[in-house]
């Protein structure tokens, strides 16, 4: 299936705003490049591109109507030059997507890499990842924040729920770090296929259930992670609370820094000990399930 590629050029100060608008509009892949066209699929945590002008490219489904998005981008980001929209055949966008994902370390233990990369450095836990069409390579701050939580806090033998699993990177990483079982949930059939593919790639299919939200049983887990957006996080607070054991942890991401208080308020009836961590304007919110309520 072909894809539409939207290309715009903005000042480095407008990159975060442009990325946010593109992702909220449903972009499947967002990449950054300098004038020499050297790709950088999201800068490392706490860093922004040093180039004075940045080329931002985003992939959308072939039938997407991008007229309204272009108007919003022009008003919010002051693009340099015209916004370009091109149709890409399969070979073009798949090759571009694969090239944008490079091996990286997360926290003290995790090493994420595409299947064609070499072995992980000694002492690191390797997670191999086919990018596919699903969001989640660890390069975006929202995913990186969740991976860093897993690296630092996940207990051996824990059970994990990854809601809005995308590529399955969080569920697979949790299993690689010693989780005993994971449930990976997404409403997008492509995300479920990508997650199942990555589970096979990492040899963890016997410890993961990949399913749509309506098929999720009444499980109770030690840690529930949801890397989606603020509005659905608020709406799903009671459901997520029901899936976390007393003194278990909720880990929420996909939240802009200014949205933290609103999301926390939705979870306060069920959780205590709220803590937030911010990278590049995005936030992760963690909290501990109360013994009752």
pLDDT at residue 94, as a whole number: 53
pLDDT at residue 172, as a whole number: 97
Does one domain contain both 276 and 141? yes
Alpha-carbon distances, residue 115 vs 31, 126, 183, 228 (angstroms): 20, 10, 23, 26
Tell whether the model's pLDDT for residue 46 goes beyond 70.
no
Does one domain contain both 66 and 123? no
Does one domain contain both 89 and 223? no
Task: Give the separation between CA 71 and CA 76, rounded to whole angstroms.
Answer: 9
What's the rounded mean pLDDT across residues 170-193? 92
Domain edge (last residue) among 53, 70, 99: 99
CATH code assigned at 136? 3.40.50.150
Model pTM score: 0.69
210-240 per-position pLDDT tens digit? 999 999 999 999 999 999 888 899 999 999 9
CATH code assigned at 56? 3.30.70.260
Does one domain contain both 262 and 227? yes
Does one domain contain both 145 and 206? yes
Q: What is the mean pLDDT of the chain?
A: 84
Does one domain contain both 272 and 145? yes
Cross-strand bridge partners of residue 31? 57
Does one domain contain both 15 and 154? no
pLDDT at residue 54, as a whole number: 80
Domain edge (last residue) among 53, 81, 99: 99
Does one domain contain both 207 and 116? yes
Domain edge (last residue) among 99, 133, 161: 99
What's the rounded mean pLDDT across residues 47-65? 73
Does one domain contain both 94 and 11? yes
pLDDT at residue 156, as a whole number: 96
Angle (deg, nearest 10), helices 169-176 and 189-201? 20
Q: Residue 114 sits in which domain range?
A: 104-289
Q: What radius of gyration do the chain's Cα atoms show?
A: 19
Does one domain contain both 89 and 206? no
pLDDT at residue 43, as a whole number: 43
Does one domain contain both 108 and 227? yes
Task: Give the separation between CA 38 and CA 25, rounded to whole angstroms.
Answer: 25
Does one domain contain both 12 and 122? no
Number of folded domains that form the chain: 2
CB atoms within 10 A of CB 145: 27
62-115 per-position pLDDT tens digit? 888 999 999 999 999 888 888 999 887 765 555 555 545 568 888 899 998 887
């Amino acid at each position: 299936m072909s894809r539409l590629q939207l290309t715009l050029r903005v000042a480095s100060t407008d990159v975060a705003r442009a990325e946010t608008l593109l992702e909220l509009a449903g972009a499947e892949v967002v990449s950054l490049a300098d004038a020499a066209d050297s790709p950088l699929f999201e800068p490392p945590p706490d860093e922004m591109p040093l180039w004075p002008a940045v080329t931002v490219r985003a992939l959308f489904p072939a039938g997407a109507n991008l007229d309204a998005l272009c108007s919003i981008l022009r008003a919010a980001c002051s693009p340099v030059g015209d916004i370009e929209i091109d149709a890409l055949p399969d070979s073009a966008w798949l090759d571009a997507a694969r090239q944008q994902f490079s091996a990286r370390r997360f926290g003290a233990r995790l090493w994420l890499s595409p299947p064609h990369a070499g072995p992980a450095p000694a002492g690191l836990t390797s997670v191999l990842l086919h990018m596919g069409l699903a969001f989640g390579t660890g390069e975006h701050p929202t995913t990186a924040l969740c991976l860093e939580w897993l690296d630092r806090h996940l207990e051996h033998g824990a059970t994990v729920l990854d809601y809005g699993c995308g590529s399955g990177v969080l569920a697979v990483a949790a299993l690689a770090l010693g989780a005993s079982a994971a449930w990976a949930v997404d409403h997008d059939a492509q995300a479920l296929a990508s997650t199942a593919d990555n589970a096979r790639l990492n040899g963890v299919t016997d410890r993961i259930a990949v399913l749509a939200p309506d098929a999720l049983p009444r499980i109770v887990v030690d840690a529930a992670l949801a890397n989606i957006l603020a509005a659905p996080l608020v709406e799903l607070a009671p459901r997520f609370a029901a899936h976390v054991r007393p003194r278990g942890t909720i880990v929420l991401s996909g939240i802009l820094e200014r949205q933290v208080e609103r999301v926390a308020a939705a979870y306060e009836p069920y959780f205590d000990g709220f803590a937030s961590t911010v990278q590049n304007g995005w936030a992760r919110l963690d909290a501990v399930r109360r013994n009752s309520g």
